[in-house]
Structure 1
């Protein structure tokens, strides 16, 4: 079939691509023009083109800043712990929901698990302080009424780290199950029936059928997560963090906020953003290469 004939026959499908392509062109590729700020002494009034070219001076200043290395360490630490704690959670939840036979219970559980994803981190931060606050938190009030000392969930760095990770699991795990549940529907049901006839237990069926069937989805999501290893959302560490735990809660996104918006050092903020993008690309390509070498599957 000729290309022109194909386009005329399926023009509706190509028309539907206009909006997503426009979105990526405007909001993803368009801002790349501003990357040159990293190489200029950016002046807000002179604009990008009118600012003086300084080359790699901005990179040298950032890489000599001790706060940069501290926030980079915290970003990597929190993302690695999130990967260990939060990444398996939606997988486990999806398998558990898939094995549930009562349809009403499955739908109710999914709804309850999805709700936290739609709650703003500002609201979640308020909930966290109401529940885990040292002086006025629900848990500590109950704990103190029983004669025990309050637990510094939000003021001790180690306790804060646990609170941070568990809050992330609560907020994201339910929504993450959607991809795995969708992948589970593609597994041939006859495989489960044959395994059950052969006497395979439920755990055996999960291990030998469910997990292999989910392997492409797991690998894809793992590669994406590894690509975001030096990128971290601003809201979660900023809202839940405080001065008492700044040695853990201060990450690259809050560092960019301080030097960019608060201090007006847009050149340095752009340098950090460009650093995150380049390192993220390296992580994605490296993880994809390793996945292809070990499992034969990847995203590129």
Structure 2
């Protein structure tokens, strides 16, 4: 690596991460699956909490599309309507499932008091844009339409996710604004993939990042939207949106040594310029996906600050 300074705990952990060739989607999926199994074999335990009931079910997809698997995280002591958190997982649009951000959903239910709902959208390249984001929008609509049964206040629904999930959250916020609903009260954008052009300083000048690289981004976007970038929808690449006014308040979290850092910072600044209440936090010494590395103090702080931002949104 270069002379960049990393949090020592994070750097030690990411050294064991597998290098993936994103151009080969299935090979990348297989590598990550094997890596997760190795962690389980080494004693890693899936987080659980007996205060939260996990409920899996299928909901209707967009017109003509397959049903969508979802997972509801219901606090067992929920006695009245409260905030809801609709999560879209990361994975570069081509990997991931309901387990990918299980920990985030569980934390939002235990620490923020939300009913969390994870949406298992269709993946590229088998299902390129707009399949995934339309599934996410359908998931948001279902949560809003069934809010009372879910013990959610329909005026207090947030969307959020990490990486590609941050993209999908920002895109769904644009779709909800443009389509007249459902109401989104807050967007939690965690080191989001936000711009298909991949030409920011952090993306172009630092090729030797841990976890994620410029080439990974190029290949990821090709899976999702193809090679033709002459006309790219803002619902695919939110930075392409000309108008960011009227969007819900946002919390944007970035990692210092993440090639995606600058595009997220620029998006946050554009939100602010458009009059959208926006909080931006950049965590020093960190890498893409660092908040899952819970042995690090900075990761714990990042998780807690995201929870606090969510709670402040509903004061």
TM-score class, shorter-chain normalisation, is under 0.3
Higher strand share: 2
**Scaled by the length of structure 2, what TM-score is found?**
0.25
For normalisation by structure 1, the TM-score amounts to 0.26
